[in-house]
Amino acid sequence: MTTNVLCLCTGNSARSILAESLMNHWGQGAFRGYSAGSFPKGEVHPMALDLLNHLGMPAEGMRSKSWDEFAAPGATAMDYIFTVCDQAAGEVCPVWPGHPITAHWGLADPAAASGTRAEQALAFREAFRILESRIRYFLTFRFKELKREELQRMAAEAGKVLPS
């Protein structure tokens, strides 16, 4: 059985897209990543796609979409939902109803980075590195052995993991 993970942010153009790709890559079929936004931009940031393609990560079919698609009747049920928006920057993170395990994995939005193209690309790489560390840590959990409360606590802890 596949475990479904939805990564949410505001615009669904960068962070949640990177997280979706990483979950699909590292989840190796046991975990299926999805992404959406509360106020989707309508297009994936080109630097997010460039980075994923450069690193050989799954990027085909990526699109910016509303989280409403996942709340609609008949939508794929989610087991985990992680918000990756940066509350410190004053972004409004979506709140998900229902019973999936949820956690906040906030990080700065690389799409908001300013400076040269190289500086902007560095922001995307850093977001990718942070998300990759968190997802790889999350995937080490002994899911079948842990109770829901333990999984909830550990999922929240994963949102604090930083690359070493």
Pairing, β 31-37 against β 101-104: unpaired
Q: Give tens-digit pLDDT for 32-62.
A: 999 999 889 999 999 999 999 999 999 999 9
> 55, 24, 19: which is closest to 37 by C-alpha?
19
In a domain, 46, yes or no: yes
Structural domains in the chain (count):
1
Q: pTM, whole model, 2 decimals?
A: 0.94
Q: Write the DSSP symbol of residue 142.
A: -
Q: Give tens-digit pLDDT for 117-160.
A: 999 999 999 999 999 999 999 999 999 999 999 999 999 999 99
Q: Which residues are catalytic?
A: 9, 85, 93
Residue 115 pLDDT level (bands cut at 50, 70, 90): very high
CATH number at residue 34: 3.40.50.2300
The domain in which residue 52 lies consists of 3-158
